[in-house]
Amino acid sequence: MKPYLTYLSKRLLQFAVVVFVGINIAYVVTHSTPINPVEQTISAATAYGSTSPEAIEMMRRSLSELYGLEGSPWQQYLSFWQRVLVGDFGPSLSAFPTPVSELILRALPWTVGLLLVSTLLTWFLGNLLGGLAGYYRENRVLRAFGVVTAGLHPVPYYVVAFVMLLAFGYLWPILPISGGASMAADRTDVVGFALDVVIHSILPVLSLMAAGIGGWFMGMRSLVSNIVTEDYVTYAELAGVRRGKILRHYVMRNAIGPQVTGLALQLGAIFNGAIITEQVFGYPGIGSLLISAVHAGDYSLVLGITTISILGVSTMVLLIDLLYPLIDPRVEAA
């Protein structure tokens, strides 16, 4: 048990460092601007309509407080942390007076659902096929799959999503290309609504998978082709252990550890991809919310989403790290 505790304390410390550095970056970015963010925000927020001078003055005051521009720098810094820790980012400016936290909570399930489904599917399929491709090197189908994913891999999420949109929105319109569910969906019909949600998620999930699967596939394939030359695999082969068993318990089992670590390291990048994909397909998650918040000049919402993203991703990474010892008994060495 003791090695696990050591491991646990290390991971928790790293988690604290990530959150600390991440939130500080957000702080430095928001406080290092050469322009006055209050005036900037007011002019952006009031650009498309007439707002009464009193309302603007009120806005100016609440904004100054919101930006943490009141008091000494040290007080500003502390109050920034306070807001982060309590999760209170004030009211949204674009959807006044709805609190930012409520908007985020509304969008969060969509993003989490999309991320969870697409990431697990991508990781699982990519590793499975990659492992098979590494073990059965002569298989034509797997080889062809390797070429296709290698071609897709370097293309960024946005381009993949955009091409998907073109293909299924204009060339062959069989799937809904926008939104998380139909506008007119009857939410009391649970089965029908669930089906509607699933159908709407197909394109975003597919494009996330298309952009992400190549990395796992190629990573796993090269891992496996290294592992098959390891002595313990050769030895099992010499002992006449069945191939299926070797593949599962000797090859894949040893390759999965690095790939789990890889998942933890890639999570930030996957999250970036999800944000962009959501925007392309108008999916009502965190990503779309963030981008519309930027367009609407909603400072509190942008800051709220940024900090929540940092917290969320690092928490997920921590969870993966904590599960890792289940996969590798040699955790002490980690």
* Site track for other proteins across 239-258, x = CB under 8 A: xxxx--x---xx--xx--x-
- DSSP assignment of 16-41 equals HHHHHHHHHHHHHHHH--SS-HHHHH
Is position 47 an interface residue for other proteins (rule: CB under 8 A)? no
Is position 60 an interface residue for other proteins (rule: CB under 8 A)? no
Is position 224 an interface residue for other proteins (rule: CB under 8 A)? no
Under 8 Å between Cβ of 251 and 228? yes
Is position 2 an interface residue for other proteins (rule: CB under 8 A)? yes
Which residues 13-32 are close enough to bind other proteins by CB under 8 A?
Answer: 13-14, 17-18, 21-22, 25-26, 29-30
Task: Output the smallest distance, CB 209 to other proteins, in A.
Answer: 17
Task: Output the smallest distance, CB 70 to other proteins, in A.
Answer: 18
Q: Which residues pair with 91 in a beta bridge?
A: 99
In a 3-state reduction of DSSP, which class is residue 138?
Answer: coil
Is position 109 an interface residue for other proteins (rule: CB under 8 A)? no
In a 3-state reduction of DSSP, which class is residue 71?
Answer: coil
Is position 231 an interface residue for other proteins (rule: CB under 8 A)? yes
How many distinct helices (H) and strands (E) make up the chain? 13, 0
Task: Output the smallest distance, CB 183 to other proteins, in A.
Answer: 20
Is position 173 an interface residue for other proteins (rule: CB under 8 A)? no
Is position 118 an interface residue for other proteins (rule: CB under 8 A)? no
Is position 122 an interface residue for other proteins (rule: CB under 8 A)? no
Which tokens sit at 214?
Answer: 């190549």
Task: Output the smallest distance, CB 109 to other proteins, in A.
Answer: 18
The size of the chain, in residues, is 334
Per the listing, tokens 């959150």 go with 19
Among 69, 99, 272, 322, binds other proteins (CB under 8 A): 272
CA torsion through residues 16, 27, 315, 260, sign: negative
Is position 78 an interface residue for other proteins (rule: CB under 8 A)? no
Cα–Cα distance for residue pair 108/56, rounded to 1 Å: 31
Amino acid residing at 304: G
Other residues' Cβ atoms within 10 Å of the Cβ of residue 329: 10
Is position 329 an interface residue for other proteins (rule: CB under 8 A)? yes
Is position 289 an interface residue for other proteins (rule: CB under 8 A)? no
